[in-house]
Amino acid sequence: MTAPTAPAPTAPALSPERADLLETLALHRGFLRYTVQGLTDEQATRRTTASELTLAGIVKHVAATERGWADFVVRGTAAMEQEPEDWSAQWVLADGETLADVLADYEQVAARTDELVRTVDLDLAHPLPEAPWFPPGAVRSARRVFLHVVAETAQHSGHADVLRESLDGQKTMG
């Protein structure tokens, strides 16, 4: 198996900034998907380090996080004020849920985000809700949200790479 490469942007009318965002999102999503390639559900849910993290849980969490931030871009603060999902549930497969299910959901989330990157005003901004992890009065533009999704995906891809290497020695890179 070879590590993924970012696909060339398919929409020639995209600005360089939008094309860069899409390419970078695709690259880091590809790393994450590559890391779980060929795993059984049992392998994808096995803890391979001292942490509680599993490969399937990481993919599920990244999809939930991306979905939440895409909702914020569309709906603003209201997207974060709804009753929060059980945070711990986004890290484990539910009864009957498979790695394939989580990957399919992630594909749908990615497609929606990509469409937003192509079409939304990148300067569109919304205030963040009051929370201990946000500075008081903070505002986030769509551009900054998409950059955060890139960072979140890249960070968790790295976590997944460590878990996969601990599972069977496979490395995404190197």
CATH, residue 37: 1.20.120.450
Coil, helix or strand at residue 126:
strand
Is there a domain that residue 10 lies in?
Answer: no
pLDDT for the residue numbered 118 = 98
User: What is the full per-residue pLDDT of the chain (174 aa) written as tens digits?
Assistant: 566 766 655 545 899 999 999 999 999 999 999 999 999 999 999 999 998 999 999 999 999 999 999 999 999 999 987 655 667 788 899 999 999 999 999 999 999 999 999 999 999 999 999 888 899 999 999 999 999 999 999 999 999 999 999 999 998 876
pLDDT for the residue numbered 16 = 97
Which residue from 22, 28, 113 is spatially nearest to 9, judged by alpha carbons?
22
- Residues 54 and 40: their CA atoms lie apart, in Å, by 12
67 within 8 A of 55, measured Cβ to Cβ? no
User: Is 0.85 surpassed by the pTM of this model?
Assistant: yes
Is there a domain that residue 5 lies in?
Answer: no
Write out the residue range of the structural domain in which residue 69 sits: 16-168
CB atoms within 10 A of CB 52: 10
79 within 8 A of 72, measured Cβ to Cβ? yes
Structural domains counted in the chain: 1
Is there a domain that residue 174 lies in?
Answer: no
Is there a domain that residue 9 lies in?
Answer: no
Is there a domain that residue 6 lies in?
Answer: no
Is there a domain that residue 79 lies in?
Answer: yes
Is there a domain that residue 145 lies in?
Answer: yes
Q: Which pairs count as long-range contacts for 37-46, CB under 8 Å and 24+ apart, including other chains?
A: 37/1, 38/1, 39/99, 39/167, 40/99, 41/93, 41/98, 41/99, 43/167, 43/168, 44/93, 44/99, 45/92, 45/93, 45/99, 46/167
